[in-house]
Amino acid sequence: MMDEINIQKIILHILDNSVAIPVLSEKEHPYNKDIMEFLEIHIGKVFKDINIKKAFFPDKENRVKNLCIDISNDNDKFVESTKKFAQLMYNIMVENPTIPPCDLICCLFNGDGKRYLGFFILNYKPSYIHYVDESENKRINQVVKQKTTLPNENQKIDEFIIINLEDFSILLKEKKHEINGEKDYYISKYLLESQDTLSDKEKIDIVNMVSKKIVNDYYENDVTKMAEIKNAIVESVEEKDAIDIDHIKTKAFNNNLDLQNIYEEEITKRGLSEKTIDINENLNKKIARTQKLVTDDGIEIKIPVSYLTSDDKVEFLNNPDGTISILLKSIREIQGK
């Protein structure tokens, strides 16, 4: 989390690939207290975004890195260098019209003693406003659709690039768009030409997907086994503030070394090589602590995973006719919600 943010320079470039050329600003954005607060709020949010991933420039000539170096060495090159960056981005957008039009805010700022260059891609979001038509001597109040509205302070920025001007490491959030007929990341692959790692959210998603696959393939989707894995994840987070792969596989498959190895191999296949995933406050909220059960006739029950791993609170009873009964125990009160 970033506590202190000091914005030095701002410039806005308009990148609408439905028109012939980008609208590139020739001067920095004039000082405006509301805009400064707007950006400070968003900068504070992006550093906590669970979809952020780390990236780095490869050890070869790189046009975007060179622009960042120019700005780092001389702040007076901010305007011209950001214009070049915006043109590079616009060229990709024109060749791939499914990339949405946007306003690009480029921002030079200090945060917790470090210098950063931020590129905030504000994709347009439709909204509705009122419009007063005074034509023909009669006033007509109308509702009209505004197609180029920017995200407000309470919304997240869909895509952004933040470059540390000390070591030129990159923090990146991006979405896949149709590039050359296929869904792909254009920012990292074609604009930055960078190499990146998985975001923390992507890492958690891999652990969840592999857990479901193992339970499906080897335990016939057994609810209790899935709960054991989820409970092991919760235990790991609460004890270490991290998801520990070794703890999960040992806890869930303690008597089956083959399955422990298969579990780890499946995770590695999906690109997750780390044995631990650090969990911050925002990610902690994404850790599943309940298991939803859905019966074949549509009844839904949500139960804490810790209750499913023992018979003290919940018991599954196999009936002679092949059906299953769920017995909930030691209930003091039931409320309808």
Query: pLDDT, tens digit, for every residue of 120-161?
Result: 998 877 777 777 787 777 777 778 776 666 666 667 788 999
| Structure-block tokens of residue 315 | 């018991």
Identify the pLDDT of residue 263.
93
Q: Once rounded to an integer, what is the mean pLDDT over residues 298-315?
A: 82
Residue-level pLDDT at 305: 82
Q: Which residue has the higher pLDDT, 255 or 82?
A: 82
- Tokens for 280, please give them: 């911050």
State the Rg of the chain over Cα.
26
Q: Report the pLDDT value the prediction gives residue 48, as an integer from 0 to 100.
A: 85
pLDDT of residue 113: 85
Q: Is residue 1 predicted with pLDDT exceeding 60?
A: no
What CA–CA distance (Å, rounded) separates 89 from 71?
A: 18
Angle, to 10 degrees, between the axis of helix 257-269 and the axis of helix 245-252? 140
> For position 330, what pLDDT does the model report?
83
6-26 pLDDT, tens digit each: 999 999 999 988 777 899 999
Average pLDDT over every residue of 257-265: 93
Query: Residue 5 in contact with residue 47, Cβ under 8 Å?
Result: no
Question: Which of 7-11, 35-39, 70-74, 204-208 has the lowest average pLDDT?
Answer: 35-39
- The percent of residues above 90 in pLDDT, for the chain, comes to 43
- β partners of residue 31: none
Q: Is 319 helix (H, G, I), strand (E, B) or coil?
A: coil
Arithmetic mean of pLDDT, 261-290:
87
Mean pLDDT for 206-216 is 93
Instruction: Report the distance separating Cα 171 and Cα 161, nearest Å.
Output: 6
pLDDT of residue 77: 96
Q: Which of 111, 141, 117, 116 is nearest to 129 (CA)?
A: 141
pTM: 0.75
Higher per-residue confidence, 255 vs 110:
110
pLDDT at position 149 is 60
- The phi and psi torsions of 88 (rounded to 5 degrees) equal -60, -45
Q: Check whether 214 has a pLDDT greater than 80.
A: yes
Mean pLDDT, the chain, as a whole number?
Answer: 88
pLDDT in the model for residue 327: 87
Q: What is the DSSP letter of 20?
A: S
Burial class (CB in 10 A: 0-12, 13-18, 19+), 28: middle
Nearest to 27 by CA among 9, 49, 39: 9
Q: Where are the alpha helices (DSSP H) in the chain?
A: 33-46, 63-73, 78-95, 186, 200-219, 223-240, 245-252, 257-269, 281-284, 305-308
List the chain domain ranges.
Answer: 5-123+150-196, 201-328
Q: What's the rounded mean pLDDT across residues 248-267?
A: 91
pLDDT of residue 335: 81
d(CA 128, CA 334): 44
What does the DSSP 8-state code read for residue 187?
A: I
Helix pair 223-240, 200-219: axis angle to 10 deg: 150
* 109 contacts 5 by C-beta, under 8 angstroms: yes
* Percent residues over pLDDT 70 in the chain: 96
pLDDT the model gives residue 221? 85
pLDDT at 55: 93
Task: Count Cα atoms within 13 angstroms, Cβ side, for 4.
Answer: 5
277-307 in b/e form (b: 16+ CB < 10 A) is bebeeebeeebeeebebeeeeeeeeebbbbb
Strand partners, 141: 132
Instruction: Express the helix, strand and coil content of the chain in percent, nearest 5 each.
Output: 35, 30, 35
Average pLDDT of 302-306?
83
* pLDDT score for 91: 94
> Counting every residue, how long is the chain?
337
How far is the C-alpha of 145 from the C-alpha of 213, rounded, in Å?
A: 45
Running DSSP on this structure, what letter comes out for residue 154?
T
